[in-house]
Structure 1
């Protein structure tokens, strides 16, 4: 099972397709996240990098000599070098293609006139109003870039306090529900809603109040609750998004 987002996620939980899609999308919006993908212990030491460079140099030299040898003498090497990508490599390529499609959907819809209507602001008066005020402010800010969202929360001490105290999956769901209600029409296709859910999740990972994986976990749970069954019933995430796009064009 994938995480609910209540705590940090371990390596096994981050293997689920929903998390990988959200991470690939977030990395497109925040390139610095790529450096966080591999744990420090997996990064080669300077000595290991030097050894690898030496081995690479030797390999290049061997390849140079190999060109002088007739192909009939080296058929096994040629077959090995032309092997198809591994299953993991193929899955990674699928995830990157899904993230790219979601990014295209968000980018193509962000500048549409009347896409986002600003709500009438409310003055907080009590706990319920505090939460509603925080949700509305976040929904308004989520139209901007993640960096601007983080900066605004840092600047607005009241918003920062309310957000920090209220942040939970229930709160994340309310923010996402309200945002999708405002940016997507009632006839909007599922890919549009999925794309904006990924965008909301990626932007909330920029907020310093909470660990990145907490927001990612909330995003995973939201995708699973609202869209995973739809994707599975259409042959998987990639096929579902491709088919939906083709149906929209027709």
Structure 2
């Protein structure tokens, strides 16, 4: 019964509210260590999406799709300004090192 109710109410609007509540309820000590607050919010969005996906009571594509849409809706301008996700979260690569 609870699973059915959760599936029925799981909309993008609900996902947005849940994500914003998740971020607002964390103390500063619980935020991931990042170079910017935007990186932390992106990481938390991915964490919440992953947790919802592992609950195994929601269709995987719905949880992942809502997570991807939220990232696009809220972080695309900032990520673009930074040069893309590779620049935002990438690690320095030795120029001689081959990347696959």
How high is the TM-score relative to the length of structure 1?
0.31
State which of 4, 11, 14 in structure 2 corresponds to 1:171.
14
State which of 58, 72, 76 in structure 2 corresponds to 1:224.
72
Alpha-carbon distance, 1:176 to partner: 0.4
Matched-pair contact (CA < 8 Å) for 1:231–1:237: yes
Matched-pair contact (CA < 8 Å) for 1:201–1:219: yes
SS in 1 for 2:88: helix
State which of 25, 46, 61 in structure 2 corresponds to 1:198.
46
Aligned counterpart, 1:181: 24
Structure 1 residues not aligned, in runs of 5+: 1-156, 243-250
Superposed CA RMSD in Å reads 1.9
Alpha-carbon distance, 1:191 to partner: 0.9
Q: Map residues 89-128 of structure 1 onto 2, 5 A cutoff.
A: none
Aligned counterpart, 2:55: 207
Deviation track 1:3-34 (CA, whole Å, cap 9, x = no partner) reads: xxxxxxxxxxxxxxxxxxxxxxxxxxxxxxxx
Alpha-carbon distance, 1:183 to partner: 1.7
SS in 2 for 1:208: coil
CA spacing shift, 1:222–1:213, aligned 2, 3 Å: same
CA distance in 2, matches of 1:164, 1:239: 36
The structure that has the greater radius of gyration is 1
Alpha-carbon distance, 1:184 to partner: 5.8
Deviation track 1:143-164 (CA, whole Å, cap 9, x = no partner) reads: xxxxxxxxxxxxxx54x34322
Structure 2 residues not aligned, in runs of 5+: 29-35, 91-100
Alpha-carbon distance, 1:182 to partner: 1.4
